[in-house]
Every structure is written in C-alpha cells, then in structure tokens.
Structure 1
Amino acid sequence: MRTFSAATHGPAPSWTVGDITVHRIDEVALPPATGPWLLPDATPEVVTAQDWLHPHFAGRDGILHLDSHSFAFVVSGLRVLVDTGIGNGKERANPAWHDLRTDFLERLTAAGFPPDSVDLVVLTHLHADHVGWNTRQVNGAWVPTFPNARYLTSRAEREFWAAYDMEEAREQMFRDSVVPVERAGLLSTVDVPPEGAEIAPGLRLAPTPGHTPGHVAVELTGQGGTALISGDCVHHPVQLAHPGVGACVDIDPQQSEATRRKLLGSLAGTDTLLLGTHFAPPTAGRVVSHGDAYRLAPVPAS
C-alpha cells in the first residue's frame, strides 16, 4: 500500500482561461521508472538534448518527470471533472498504481468540487490511470464516486473495449471502475466526428485517436481564452520536440504520431493553453515552434 498526504499542500493550482478557472487536482507523482517504460524512445540522450525540459519536466540525468492528476472547472453552469486518475485501493498489475491511498478526494473538495457536486465526468479514454476514481469502495462494493454526475466517453472508445480480448488486469479495471458506473446508469457515450463534438457551450471533445481508437482531448473556451486538456495523445513535453516518440501502450502507434503532429501543428503559435494530463508542474504551457518541431513555453499556475 502506498500512502500519500496533501496535508502540507496549499490550494489547488489553477489557471484562468477567459472567464473559466481550471484547477489541477493532484493525485500522485509517478516513479522515475515510469518514463523508460512508457516512452522507451525518450532515451536520456534524447531528453538531455532538450535543455528546456530541465528542471521542470526532466532531470539532468534524462529521467522524465510524470504525474497523475485531473482537471476540474465550471463551464456553462456545469461542474466538470476531466479524467479520474488511478484511484484508491485498486488491484493493479502496475506496482506504481496498486492499492494507492491518496487524498485525491480531499484535494478535489478543497478546490470546491466535493464529489456530490460534480455534474459531468469526461473520460478521455478508458485506461486504468484515467478511470480509477470513477468508483470508490463502500462496504466492500465499488460504487460511483460522483453519484450525481453523467460520466461521458466517446462511443468509439467504449465499443472498442467491448469487443477487445482483454487480459485479466484490464478485465479487473473494467470490473471495478467502469462496469459499476454503467450498472448505475451513469455512463453515456457520444459520437465524436472529425470536427469534434460540443458537449455544452464552451466545452468540446476533439478526436485524438491512436493511443486508443476513441481517445479524445478536451477543449474549453471561456470569454477570450481557450485551453486543451491533452489526455494521453501527449504524455510528456519531450514529445513536442520529438512527435515520433510514442507510448509503449499506444494501440496504433502510427495513428498516434499522426494525431500528435496534427494537434501540435494546430496549437503552435496560438494562445491556446495546453494542459498535460501527465505533465509534471508547471503542467501547462503554450506550444511554440522550435527547430523543426516544438517546445512548451510554461505557464505556471496561480
């Protein structure tokens, strides 16, 4: 059991996007071994060649810094949570995710989003480190953490996994973190066409397939500002410098790279704030051209 406490932490870091405040709800910093496993082509030589990654996103030794966190905000009167992290007490094959004990819900509540108040949970995709807090254990049963919320993912995502021959570890994740939400009638799916799907004014799902077939990024627009929450189409800022660096768990590596290149090209030189779902603090930034690729110009949280 890995136990973590936020007792020494202050308010949730946040960014202003027009008239929207986006809060980062921290769960846990991922261990150093995560980078070499997840992004094997991001070798220390590749990483250390990008001076701008140090000190926030990588060490001088080339080890990547990666986090697990969620984002919470209010848009069009909806109290929204994007992705739900790893979760507590979950049986997981990855030792970094197994049987965690974090105070994620206390952090979420302190940011002004107690679980009962959440209206919408957007799941960028159905991987274990993005759906864990969908449920919590009550009297030995897994029940929805956000009982008044609509949980939402793309139809292509849910249909892909419904037809997939899952290994036991993934079956376990669906049993404890997806199926209970479905049985409670809280999970909805939405078609996400190439131009994206508007969920509410100022909230849009953008198709970003490759990591999984139905993966989406989340775009939010306030008065005079736009932000994009990456999900796992970009795991780490090193992929801005090397968009060809993919994750070992990408379902379609070629599509994942094509999606990443298209997305980064569309963001480069704009004022859109990129919020990385696994980016270590400062977590957010603007994509700028750098050589024949890109880098992240950090925008620290307030």
Structure 2
Amino acid sequence: MTTASGDRLRRPARLRSVDLGPIRVSYVPDGAVQLVPHGWFPETTEETWARHPEYVDDTGHLAGSLGGLLIEYGERALLVDAGFGPDAWPATPGNPIGVIRGGALLDNLVALGRKPEEIEAVAFTHLHVDHLGWAWHPAPGSDKPAFAHADYLLTEPEWSNPELAEAEGTSREILDVLRPRVRTVADGNEIFPGVRVQLTGGHTIGHAAYVVEAAGRRLIAFGDALHSPIQIARPEWWAAPDHDRTLSTAHRHRLIKELSQPDTLGFGIHFADVPFGHVETHDGQPEWHPIDA
C-alpha cells in the first residue's frame, strides 16, 4: 500500500516543488480527470478496488491529475507537457475516462513566478490530448500561442506516426497547429541543462520520459508509463489506451527498479496529489512513497 496521508490519493495534485541543487522542478496543475478503475486497468476486477478503497473517491473513480512539470535553471525554463487546456468533457457511457477538465495551467505558472512566454521549450511525453492542451490552444484573449517563444520537442517515432495519435483522439487540426514548431529529439539527447530524453515506447509508439540530474540526485518524469501509484506494486496492470501492452509492461518493470535506486525520485503527472515520490520495498513488495514537496 502506498504510504500517503489523508485524502491525497483521492484528490488531484496541487502546486508542489522539489529542488535538485540548482534545478527546481514544480508540478503545475491544469485540472483533473476521473478514471473508471476497472475500465482503465482491465486486468483488475471490482474486487481489486474493494480491497483498495484508499484509491477510490466518493464517486467511485480514480482521481487523476492533469498539468505539466516546470523545470527551472536560473533564468531558463522548460515545461514537460502542457495539460488539457481550457476545455472540459463530460463522462460518456462505456468510456474509461470520466469527467475531464483543464484550464488552470497558465495561472499556476504565473503563481510560480513564470510567464508563459518565458518557456523556451515544451517537451512532450507523447501526443495524447491531455498532454498537449495549452500548446495548441491560443493564449486567453489572443489568437497567438501561449508559449510564444517555445520549441515543441517530441521523439522522432512519436512525431512520424501521426495516424496513431489521430486514432487516439488527437485531431489533425491539433497536429497542424503544433507542426511549425516541432523539433524531434532522440533517446539520450540533452534538451536543457541536466535534462535528457529517455525513450519509453509502449503507451504510445514514441513515448518519452525525461530524466533530470543535478547535485547527485535524479528525477524521472515518466509520463504515462504509470498512471497511478498502485501500479508500483502491480506493473503488469497495463492501461486501456496502451499501444503495446507488452512493451509498456516491460518499461514499468525497469522503471520501478530505477525508482528504487538511491537519490532517485519519480514524477507521475497523473498521480493524484502524490506526484513526487520514490520507491521503497517492504516485505518484498515495492511501494510509492510520496514526498511532502
């Protein structure tokens, strides 16, 4: 069981920051998503969730966060993922995604002392709409992009297979808005001081994690390789939209081993109000230990 206090597993994440020497990383909330537990994790049953009520909110859903990760080095700033944007979708019957809403990311950037136009690049984990929001929506009251001076970074396999993104609901219109600013990156590339790309295909064909290293510490922003801290003990639980279940499961096993290493933190963008943490093993079972960032 994850050692989270109070209701943190049943609510979306709030503003939280962690320092790694000269680099500060901050979760920037945009909104929230409700996930149908058995629908999102088809390997589970109703009995599974009856045994783990700490993960289920009062509506019977898993609470998921939507947002981005701000990485700051001095005056420079990089954003990993761009939330859902100023939109909201209702729940629909049979869909493992319940209500989803965004819109707060730009205001929360300002609360952290950053104007959107100061972001030098947005590095995407993948091309699903809940990670692209403010990169294609214009700034409020304008027809211009919110991140006026930013390049958009994607792995080459992700960007070279747009039909896969379209099949998962990312429209051609969205891809056309992104296209003029996209720059592709490869596994191992350093894209910002102390930040490199780690190709982790499985959830999508070119899904990326971003590894931040500074002052002898490491943080892995693992995107949708994991959606809930309950998967730390159950890496075989693939998510309904995973493109390659076998590959995504293999990456989860490797990721959990990495997160168990000394001086290594993880960042889970959808991890309710426990986005920053590390993995510890008790009685032979790995557990997610959130930190009070």
The TM-score by the shorter chain falls in which range? Answer: 0.7 to 0.9
> One-letter code of the match for 1:216?
A
Residue 170 in structure 1 maps to residue 169 in structure 2: yes
Task: Give 1:37 shift.
Answer: 2.9
Residue 35 in structure 1 maps to residue 37 in structure 2: yes
Counterpart CA distance in 2 for 1:34 and 1:245 is: 14
Counterpart CA distance in 1 for 2:243 and 2:41 is: 14
Counterpart CA distance in 2 for 1:64 and 1:299 is: 20
Task: Please give the secondary structure, in 2, of the residue aligned with 1:279.
Answer: coil
User: Which consecutive unaligned segments of at least 5 residues does structure 2 have?
Assistant: 1-13
Task: Please list the CA deviations of residues 257-278 of structure 1 after superposition, one character each: whole Å capped at 9, or x if unmatched.
Answer: 0011011112214221111010
> One-letter code of the match for 1:17?
L
Q: Which stretch of the first structure deviates more once superposed, 85-94 or 236-245? A: 85-94
Q: What is the RMSD of the two structures over their aligned residues, measured on CA atoms?
A: 2.9
Is this contact kept in 2: 1:268–1:288, CA < 8 A? yes
Task: Please give the secondary structure, in 1, of the residue aligned with 2:132.
Answer: helix
Task: Give 1:29 shift.
Answer: 2.5
Cα 1:291–1:257 change in 2 (3 A) is farther
Residue 181 in structure 1 maps to residue 178 in structure 2: yes
Cα 1:299–1:43 change in 2 (3 A) is farther
User: How high is the TM-score relative to the length of structure 1?
Assistant: 0.80
Is this contact kept in 1: 2:36–2:61, CA < 8 A? no
Which residue of the other structure, out of 19, 22, 39, is the alignment partner of 2:22?
19
Counterpart mapping for 1:64-103 below 5 A? 64-75=62-73, 78-89=76-87, 96-97=99-100, 100=101, 102-103=103-104
Is this contact kept in 1: 2:127–2:165, CA < 8 A? no
> One-letter code of the match for 1:265?
K
Task: Give 1:170 shift.
Answer: 2.5
Partner of 1:272: 264
Task: Give 1:180 shift.
Answer: 1.2
Partner of 1:8: none
Is this contact kept in 2: 1:29–1:66, CA < 8 A? yes
> One-letter code of the match for 1:113?
R
Partner of 2:107: 106
Partner of 2:201: 209
> One-letter code of the match for 2:64?
L
Cα 1:140–1:103 change in 2 (3 A) is closer
Is this contact kept in 2: 1:15–1:23, CA < 8 A? yes
Task: Give 1:226 shift.
Answer: 1.3
Partner of 2:158: 157
Which residue of the other structure, out of 235, 242, 256, is the alignment partner of 2:227?
235
Task: Please list the CA deviations of residues 232-275 of structure 1 after superposition, one character each: whole Å capped at 9, or x if unmatched.
Answer: 01111111110000110000001000011011112214221111
Is this contact kept in 2: 1:47–1:62, CA < 8 A? no
User: Which consecutive unaligned segments of at least 5 residues does structure 1 have?
Assistant: 1-10
Q: Which stretch of the first structure deviates more once superposed, 233-242 or 263-272? A: 263-272
Task: Please give the secondary structure, in 1, of the residue aligned with 2:99.
Answer: coil
Counterpart CA distance in 1 for 2:154 and 2:198 is: 12
Task: Please list the CA deviations of residues 152-209 of structure 1 after superposition, one character each: whole Å capped at 9, or x if unmatched.
Answer: 0100111122x54944x7252x413x32132xx32111122xxx22223300111111
Task: Please give the secondary structure, in 2, of the residue aligned with 1:242.
Answer: coil
Counterpart CA distance in 1 for 2:278 and 2:141 is: 44
Task: Give 1:77 shift.
Answer: 5.2
Identity of aligned residues (%): 29
- Segments of 4+ in structure 1 off by > 6 A? 90-95, 138-142
> One-letter code of the match for 1:112?
G
Aligned residues: 275
Is this contact kept in 2: 1:221–1:227, CA < 8 A? yes
Counterpart CA distance in 1 for 2:123 and 2:238 is: 24
Task: Please give the secondary structure, in 2, of the residue aligned with 1:65.
Answer: strand
Is this contact kept in 2: 1:208–1:259, CA < 8 A? yes
Is this contact kept in 2: 1:241–1:294, CA < 8 A? yes
Is this contact kept in 1: 2:66–2:269, CA < 8 A? yes
Partner of 1:248: 240
Partner of 1:146: 147
> One-letter code of the match for 1:278?
H
Task: Give 1:143 shift.
Answer: 4.4
Partner of 1:46: 48
Cα 1:274–1:62 change in 2 (3 A) is farther
